[in-house]
Structure 1
Amino acid sequence: MMVNRTTPPISPDGTIDPSEASGVLNTLESLLDDIKNSNKSNAGIVMGEVIGVIQLQDKNTKRKDIDICYSSQQNLMNVVETNQKTDFPWSVKIPSEAFDKSSLQNNGSAFVGVLRYPNLGKKDETKNYAVLNNEVYGITMGANISNLTNNIEMTTKLKTSVGNASCTSWDGNGNLEWTTFGCETEMIDNNTIKCSCSHLTFFAVLMSVPDASAVAPYLDSLTLISSVGCGISVFFLAIALFMHFLLRKAKSNQATKILINILVALFLLNVSFLSNESVANSGDKNACVFIALLMHYSMLTSFTWFFIQALHMYLWLIRQNVTITNYMRKITVLGWGVSMPIVVAVLSTGGYKAVTLSSTSGKIARMCWITDLFIQYIVNIGFYSLVFIFTTIIFIIIVTNIFQSRDIRATEGKRLMFRKQLMMVLSLFLLFGLTWAVAFFSYGPMLIPSYYIFSVLNSFQGFFLFLYYYHIHNDVAGHFSDDPGSSSTTSSIVKVSNAVDNIYN
């Protein structure tokens, strides 16, 4: 049975108004009596470019899953058997649980209506997404269908590789605002996107943000730089840890112990990054979640230890007369414990999933990471921003004191070499994790240069810190009550310079 309805209003640019699309979907229920009178279980719907299908399930029969597929060759939608849907570019599986809920809210009657909308909504060049194939699918069952245990599954076949695809929904009210809430995205065999959603409404697959598209031509080189840098860092970090635990453990002071914790955190971060793509390609969801959690935890832990390093320098070099009992034990708990509640919270919300990226060469890369941009911005960028602000303030204070002491000591005939002071500053820059701040400049004309600088500095960070660790020769006590008797500004500045000289040589 085929039903022709009035075509939704189409604007001169070929788009369909969202409010009209929502209204048309809600009127499908008016077709039920016509379908029942024709003794048919389903009917095709044609409204100009908008096509669809409506399917009834008899109240006297057991509810069952059904598959509805769209055929681009015939430009129609139809209900098919499960084993016949593999060649269709788009299909949706409606679980029996949804029909049960529809039946309870519609006095025993259960139905599903699906409409395909091309070019839904006005084109807006300022938006940071594109709708895959310009296709939006509206699904209704005449009832509030949400919180399903057996999700609605939609699959979309791809003609070419895509990057950063995400399954989204729109509630049909107001402006066309997409959300990933209630939907999960999964890539299958490089050419199929599977969307699994726990509710019914309008659905679309959104494509890469423009910045990600701009990076696509450079993805291969950035990946190579990161992989090589992380590999070198893992090698030298392992050597540094070997040297410490087997050769220098007995000579460790507080500053060295903090540095070793930084090295361990960076070692975990680099190892998890290098193994991430292999785990993502394995298709094991549990392993993907684990490696994403480990990489996220080690990254946040690295940020925390950068903060602790700056705090230690502040207490020792600036405050000086501070006494903290069980100091190393407390900062160790802080360094490794503060990130745990964060990753547990992200894990509980299902935030760790596989992400797919593609380069212009056609190479597809997968990694296990956080798919929710809200979590990415609030948790990761927000967390580092706080660390960055604190470490930058301490960095400026210490560097200022270093160069002030240079002028003071010059009058005493003890001018330090500029190269030596520059190495102090660079060492502090690395120890405080300030190289990660390059990501703040990833906009506009600085987008690509900042990505290359970020990849080089942070993937090779472990190697740079190994070089620093290798040049530590003196066993400095590193306690806070360092010469408490001196209080003059001049002597304090000189003490800062002397202390930094001892640490960074």
Structure 2
Amino acid sequence: QPYGRGCTAPLGSVILPSSITKGLSPEEQRQANRVQFTFYKKSMLFQDPTLNSEMLVSPVLGSSVANLSITNLKEKIQFTIRNTNYSGSCVFWDFTENGGAGAWNNWGCHVVSFTAEDTTCSCSHLTSFAVLLDFSREDQLDQKQAQILTFITYIGCGVSAVFLSITILTYLSFEKLLQDIPAKILVQLCISLLGLNLVFLMNGWLALYKVDGLCISTAFFLHYFLLTSFTWAGLEALHMYLSIVRVFTAHLSNYMMKFSIMGWGIPLIVPVIIIAVDKNNYGLVSYGNYSDGTTDDFCWLRDDIAFYVGVVAYFLLMFTLCLVIFIVVLVQLARIKRQNPQNQSPNQGVLTDLRRISGLIILLGLTWGFALFAWGPLYLPFVYLFCIFNSLQGFFIFVFHCAVRENVQRQWRTHLCCGRLRLPENSEWSRTATYNKNTTSFTMMSSSTAHLACSSSSVISETNSSGKTLKTHRF
């Protein structure tokens, strides 16, 4: 701590963490018995041509441990510098900028506290959505790409949280929208995704406190909501299969209750087992390898085996289930359309099919599949696709299941316009709602296989066009 003549306070101080030598080789640890501090009262050696109206208003403080390059520290280095004027931001000298000439960089650094005399700085980073399914578990992103992905992730998660909330409130507020099984499954999926987005948004902030119990709890709930999102996507696929292919769904007793137990109960088993084996499987994980020596602190799965079994294997199981059922459903829809082509006009049929297929892809969480291709030279583009589509998944759900749904639009107009645009009694939605209210079951009977197929086609077509589910039996 150098002192100036006549000064009663130090011009600067550095606090090095006790873990600074962890991760060094035995030879490097023998060299690490010498720590050097350098204090530059003038900044003549640190000229940055990229500075415009900004100027350096404090001395330059540096430290080194036996001239070794030490990065990925779990505990941050904290430094305090005496101001010669007001300090607007904290920066570090990045030797990789300007073709190796160096430049000042404020990435990841922020002001902890400042007074008229002193400024205390600390450096930390946020984390992108890609860490949730980073199969390699290695740092492959440079500082610039990590910053861009962080902005995409946090903006996307914030937008998704808003639209997921709107979707949930819409379906819970309008009773007519929540009468069929797909709508109830959709609400459960939205609740799961909303929990995932909120926990993820708070994760980086909670990780700064470095409290073991808090970080373990955060990682536990993040893992749980991630698995529930996978599970409800799989259950949506299962329901599609039962209703379209098997034509036998909602008449089962306690159908939605069984789905709820599976959707919220099965995912809970995995994190409970992981934390029961060793609670330290969850905790603070460091990502990134930046030129200022800092890393991304994130509360997540620390053990690789727990990650691959509890996340990757679970994801691959649900992804395979969704993909197989998606293909089977497409084949069934194509077969039904060939058997009953006069049921709807070609243009409207194509538009309905595309809308239904696109909504099904997003709703079943197939966008998570981008993580499967994030390897080698394709790592960066697929990580971008993964972060963009998954962080905006809630927005896509709102578009396909609220904004473009005619029955949802009618409910909005009816209630928000004080009844001026109420549904006409002879409208398709009104007829369907009345029919479902007064009908307890719908039985299809046929003396031939062709007649059974034709009857099934009519039921499915009416279900898709009205947005309602008819209770059916097969004999």
Fold shared per TM-score above 0.5: yes
**Relative to 1, partners in 2 of residues 1:89 and 1:401: Cα closer, same or farther, differing over 3 Å?**
closer
User: Equivalent residues in 2 for 1:347-386 (5 A)?
Assistant: 347-348=275-276, 349=278, 350-358=280-288, 360=290, 362=292, 364-386=295-317
**Relative to 1, partners in 2 of residues 1:216 and 1:489: Cα closer, same or farther, differing over 3 Å?**
farther
User: Equivalent residues in 2 for 1:245-324 (5 A)?
Assistant: 245-248=172-175, 251-321=178-248, 323-324=251-252
Asked if 1:439 corresponds to 2:326, the answer is no
The Cα shift of 1:260 comes to 0.2
| Alpha-carbon contact 1:258-1:305 (below 8 Å) kept | yes
In structure 1, distance between residues paired with 2:255 and 2:331:
27
Asked if 1:422 corresponds to 2:349, the answer is no
Indicate the RMSD between aligned Cα atoms, in angstroms: 3.8
Q: Which runs of 5+ in 1 are unaligned?
A: 1-84, 93-114, 119-132, 138-155, 166-186, 192-207
User: Equivalent residues in 2 for 1:167-246 (5 A)?
Assistant: 187-190=74-77, 211-214=138-141, 216-246=143-173
Greater relative contact order (Cα < 8 A, sep 6+): 2
In structure 1, distance between residues paired with 2:147 and 2:376:
21
The Cα shift of 1:333 comes to 1.1
User: Equivalent residues in 2 for 1:4-83 (5 A)?
Assistant: none
- What residue number does 2:259 align with? 331
The Cα shift of 1:427 comes to 0.7
**Relative to 1, partners in 2 of residues 1:490 and 1:233: Cα closer, same or farther, differing over 3 Å?**
same
In structure 2, distance between residues paired with 1:387 and 1:262:
14
- What residue number does 2:464 align with? 500
The Cα shift of 1:483 comes to 4.3
**Relative to 1, partners in 2 of residues 1:501 and 1:373: Cα closer, same or farther, differing over 3 Å?**
farther
Q: Deviations over 1:106-161 (max 9, x none)?
A: xxxxxxxxx9733xxxxxxxxxxxxxx69999xxxxxxxxxxxxxxxxxx999667
Which structure shows the bigger proportion of residues in helix conformation?
2
The Cα shift of 1:374 comes to 1.1
What code does the residue aligned with 2:26 have?
A: Y
The Cα shift of 1:502 comes to 3.3
**Relative to 1, partners in 2 of residues 1:290 and 1:501: Cα closer, same or farther, differing over 3 Å?**
same
| Alpha-carbon contact 2:172-2:178 (below 8 Å) kept | no
| Alpha-carbon contact 1:407-1:415 (below 8 Å) kept | no
In structure 2, distance between residues paired with 1:232 and 1:135:
51
Q: Deviations over 1:9-31 (max 9, x none)?
A: xxxxxxxxxxxxxxxxxxxxxxx
| Alpha-carbon contact 1:316-1:482 (below 8 Å) kept | no
Residues matched between the structures, number: 331
The Cα shift of 1:249 comes to 7.1
User: Equivalent residues in 2 for 1:94-113 (5 A)?
Assistant: none
- What residue number does 1:117 align with? 26
The Cα shift of 1:364 comes to 3.5
- What residue number does 1:397 align with? 328
**Relative to 1, partners in 2 of residues 1:448 and 1:410: Cα closer, same or farther, differing over 3 Å?**
same
The Cα shift of 1:341 comes to 1.9
What code does the residue aligned with 1:425 have?
A: I
In structure 1, distance between residues paired with 2:166 and 2:375:
37
SS at match of 2:26: strand
SS at match of 1:355: strand
Alignment equivalent of 1:451, drawn from 373, 383, 404:
383
**Relative to 1, partners in 2 of residues 1:89 and 1:254: Cα closer, same or farther, differing over 3 Å?**
closer
In structure 1, distance between residues paired with 2:465 and 2:261:
29
SS at match of 2:208: helix
Which structure shows the bigger proportion of residues in strand conformation?
1
**Relative to 1, partners in 2 of residues 1:412 and 1:229: Cα closer, same or farther, differing over 3 Å?**
closer
**Relative to 1, partners in 2 of residues 1:354 and 1:314: Cα closer, same or farther, differing over 3 Å?**
same
| Alpha-carbon contact 1:308-1:335 (below 8 Å) kept | yes
SS at match of 1:367: strand
In structure 2, distance between residues paired with 1:445 and 1:341:
36
The Cα shift of 1:370 comes to 0.5
- What residue number does 1:484 align with? 444
The Cα shift of 1:334 comes to 1.0
